[in-house]
Amino acid sequence: MNTDNNSFDPTPGLKSSPVPVLFIPFKDNEDKCNYCANKYSMTLKFEQKYCKNCLYWHIQYTKNTTNNTYLDVNISTNNSQCTEHKAIRNNFYTRNIQEWCEYCSEILYFRQVIPNNLSTNEFFFSESYVHYISKGFELYDKRSGCYQISPGWVESTLNKEPISILHLPWWDNYTQCVVCTRKLKYVNQVSESYYCQKWCSCCFTIYTGCRYCLTTNIIFGITDQSQCKKCKRVSFINIDTTNIISGNYIIDEFLASTRIDSNNQRLIANYVNNDTNLNPLNVYLFIRNLFSTEKQIIEWIPYSQIKNFKKIAEGGFSIIYKAIWSDGTHDLDVAVKEISNSQNISKYVKYVLNELKSLYYLYDFNNNIIGCYGISQNPLTKEYMLIMEYAKSGCLWDYLQKYFANITWQQKITTLTDISSGLQVIHRNNFVHRDIHGGNILFSNLRKYGLANGLKCWKIGDFGLSQSANSTLSNNGIYGVIPYIAPEVFKCFKFSKESDIYSLGMIMWELTTGYKPFANVEHNVNLIYEIIDGKRPEITNDTPEWYANLMKKCWDSNPLKRPDIREVCCTVTKWYQLTSEWVYSGIPFNDPVDSADSIETINQAEKMRLELIRSKKLGPESIEKSHPKTVFTSRALSSLISKSLTLDFSSRNLFNLKQEYITKEYEFDINNIQSLSTNNISSVQNSFNSQRQNAYFSKPLSKLVTIITTNSSRKRNIEELNFKTQNSRKHTKTDNSD
């Protein structure tokens, strides 16, 4: 499919050369000609490279052709007494390549070739560089017409969808990608001397050049051929796509989508179509600005590149290994998450892709979300594996166990700042994690633009259970670690942003004590009952009041009374500023904290912490031995919760509960989250009933049977769950957390 305007001529006034133009390189950082091995010469302006030997032979091959202009070139003379022809005046200039003389002529510049000024290469896509080009290198000339770009669309060979193509009227021999600035790879096809092709293995932008016309096509996606806009010659595209081809259509479609942004492609086409008077070179600046936000790239990683597997953990749904990813250019320590039973991709594709998509959409190089490099597959077991950032320093549980005695209150607040910042990224993108606990909080290198800079920070990982906050899907069973699950989830409500906040409250408590919540009791249905009844871990004596107040708000039984992540981050940021060098250096900050939140209270808390540590009343050593039947790995819990756990709500109380706790519903598509009106209360009630019905069934753990016998004599305290309506009016919570 090609929707181009075939009548468009990108270089009016010029003819296609009868022989390929071989004297100009397609790769501007080469020093020697690919065809004769002679050293390249430089033009007097813009330092454009060309081979004098190949130029000479080009002129010889074309001198007997008709008097047509094939090249747009400016030539000057440096010797008026040349022995090869009659004397000519000094400072003679011509645009006729046939008048070039190897003894007395110098190429001033080629108007069809991108400048190669070494001093400005690093600023190639910057505004200052485009201005530099525009000043002395105009592509507009009234004598020959305007060199213009032509946008078009071709069919992707991956998904048959249209992808954008730009037909450039010049020879682009730059070595960096215009989209992501990464180094380009080149195709060597000696059998066809006119065939020039390069591509970006990261974003899969393809560049093809026609040596007969010195024009370039930029294709924003993967296709199998490219046609020159001027001479109509077709070149077949042959690039390596192994890092996005898994053999599974569903996975391949997602991997391709991480590189091809259809919306940006439309913006590029609109820009070119609507800006007819622009300097054409400005298109580089527009594209670079359009793709200026650095995004993570998810690859299909061949299993052969993963080596030295070492098992480090095992959860309810996966096994975690430490390994080395060796792609031929570098070795990188990675964490490999092998997902159990994922060989049946038709059954487990939602779980595999759910985590992969969550990691992609939530991660960037500046936030507190663990990174994912790609996906692979064990060729023997056929299990799928996520290749992820390796957190060398381990998880929060391990860190507290080893170093709790040395972790000051200032460091605790810094840790909480990182974790809450990561959760804010999740909620701001309208996701719910659903499985936050200390084992999923990882201490890793702070990365910027994919490179570790030596600093460390706390990051949230394990997104296997995450989903959109607006998902209309039911829980389909309760999964997780009992002490971190909000009480309303045990009562058939879906996981929500509010339930994530509850889990964050438990993380806050862990930071104060150094051990896991409810580690001294069996994790069974009795603990679930107690959590529903309002049981929470005991707050330590050294915990400042302002810290304890936020923690208790986070684990409030009523989800409507919990703060949203924006409020949590705002509060924690104040604490961080208070304990950081900003205050001590005298640098003021906006919105000062309350008088109670003073440096003195933190100092007092630190003194008390040290006293409790010395007396062994605080920290991992102070707790009695953990109960042998605690389970701190995520698991399916629905079989622990029978219908007898459904408390005796009257129909009126149940309706009040539904009316009180309603969040705005949306149509969920993880690739394109769009809002859906929920004015119809009956649809909400039907959704609630569906959730209530499904909450007690879990197919994955049907073998685990713990039947809870109905005991009508046992009355549960349900005050914490009996949410009363305010003024008998529906309370609608519209989430707009940042």
| DSSP notation for 252-270 | HHHHHHTT--HHHHHHHHH
pLDDT, position 400: 94
Gap between the Cα atoms of 520 and 539, Å rounded: 15
Same-domain check for residues 382 and 411: no
Owner of token pair 């409790």: 612
Kindly state whether residues 566 and 483 are assigned to the same domain. yes
**Would you say residue 591 lies in a domain?**
yes
Are residues 223 and 88 both part of a single domain? yes
- Same domain (yes/no): 380, 450: no
Token couple for 503: 């889990």
Does 418 lie in the same domain as 540?
Answer: yes
User: How far is Cα 419 from Cα 649, in angstroms, rounded to an integer?
Assistant: 37
User: In whole angstroms, what separates CA 235 from the centre of its chain?
Assistant: 33
Q: Which residue is associated with the tokens 């096994």?
A: 319
Distance CA 350, CA 250 (A): 10
Averaged pLDDT in 10-residue chunks for the chain of 738 residues: 63 87 90 91 89 90 74 76 58 66 80 66 42 47 62 87 91 89 79 75 91 94 92 89 80 81 84 71 83 77 94 82 88 90 64 82 76 90 90 91 92 95 92 92 72 74 72 63 93 90 97 93 92 94 93 96 96 85 44 54 88 88 81 80 45 39 35 36 38 33 31 37 37 40
Q: Decide if 521 is inside a domain.
A: yes
DSSP string over 347-381? HHHHHHHHHHHHHHHH--TTSSB--EEEEEE-TTT
Instruction: Say if residue 454 is exposed, middle or buried (CB neighbours under 10 Å; 0-12, 13-18, 19+).
Output: exposed
Q: Identify the CA nearest to 419 among candidates 453, 388, 381, 457.
A: 457
**Domain end point (choices 216, 240, 264):** 240
Q: For the residues of 505-516, what is the DSSP string, one character each?
A: HHHHHHHHHSS-
Determine the longest span between alpha carbons in the chain, in angstroms. 119
| Domain that includes residue 34, residue range | 1-240
Amino acid at site 380: L
CA–CA separation, 434 and 495 (whole Å): 6
Cα(485)–Cα(518) distance, rounded to whole angstroms? 12
Report yes or no: 222 and 32 within 8 Å, Cβ to Cβ: no
Beta carbons of 270 and 332 less than 8 angstroms apart? no
Residue with tokens 């999923």: 440
Parallel/antiparallel/unpaired status of strands 372-377 and 299-300: parallel
| Residue 438 token pair | 């200390």
Report if residue 734 sits inside a domain. no
Domain final residue pick, 341, 357, 389: 389
Task: Give the C-alpha separation, 385 to 342, whole Å.
Answer: 9
Together in a domain, 372 and 460? no
CATH number of the domain within which 328 lies: 3.30.200.20
Half-sphere exposure of 68 (CA within 13 A, CB side): 12
Residues constituting the chain? 738
Residues whose CB is less than 8 angstroms from the CB of residue 693 and which lie 6 or more positions away in sequence, other chains included: none
- Determine the distance from the C-alpha atom of residue 309 to the mean position of all C-alpha atoms in its chain, rounded to a whole number: 26
Residue 566 pLDDT:
96
C-alpha to C-alpha distance for 321 and 327, rounded to whole angstroms: 18
Specify the DSSP element, H or E, that contains 308.
strand 306-314
Beta strands in 221-305 (DSSP E): 225-227, 234-236, 299-300
In which residue are the tokens 């923690």 written?
A: 551
Per-residue pLDDT at 586:
43
Residue 267 lies in a domain: no
Six token digits for residue 319: 């096994």
SS3 493: coil
Extract the tokens encoding 251.
């996975």
pLDDT of res. 445 = 78
Which residue type does 285 have?
Answer: L
The CATH number linked to 499 is: 1.10.510.10
- Quick one: tokens of 20? 């390929």
Q: How far apart are CA 646 and CA 121, in angstroms?
A: 69
Residue 715, domain member (yes or no)? no
At 102 the pLDDT is 72
Residue 239, burial from CB neighbour count under 10 angstroms (0-12, 13-18, 19+) = middle
Of 252, 378, 242, 388, which Cα lies nearest the Cα of 303? 378
Q: Specify whether the CB–CB gap between 499 and 485 falls below 8 A.
A: yes
- Tell me the backbone φ, ψ of residue 664, rounded to 5 degrees: -65, 125
Q: What is the pLDDT of residue 359?
A: 85
Domain membership of residue 706 (yes or no) is no
One domain for residues 459 and 592: yes
Closest CA to 377 of 304, 323, 307, 441: 304
Domain boundary among 347, 362, 389: 389
Torsion of CA 156, 160, 161, 164, to 10 degrees: 20
List % helix, strand, coil for the chain (3-state, nearest 5).
30, 20, 50
Residues 9 and 136 in one domain: yes
Domains in the chain, number: 3
The pair of structure tokens assigned to 716 is 């549960």
Q: Is 451 exposed, middle or buried (0-12, 13-18, 19+ CB in 10 A)?
A: exposed
Q: Is there a single domain that holds both residue 207 and residue 97?
A: yes
DSSP conformation letters of 635-647: EE-GGG--GGGS-
State the pairing for strand pair 140-141/441-448.
Answer: unpaired
Question: Do 332 and 209 belong to one domain?
Answer: no
pLDDT at 735: 42
Q: Is 372 within the bounds of a domain?
A: yes
CB neighbourhood size of 508 (10 A): 25
User: 366 and 425 share a domain?
Assistant: no
- Do 376 and 466 have their domain in common? no
Write the single-letter amino acid at 587. Answer: I
User: Is 230 part of any domain?
Assistant: yes
Question: SS3 of 688, please?
Answer: helix
- What are the start-end ranges of the E strands in 512-564? none
Which pairing describes strands 140-141 and 105-110: parallel, antiparallel, or unpaired? unpaired
Q: Between helices 282-290 and 127-136, what is the axis angle to 10°?
A: 170
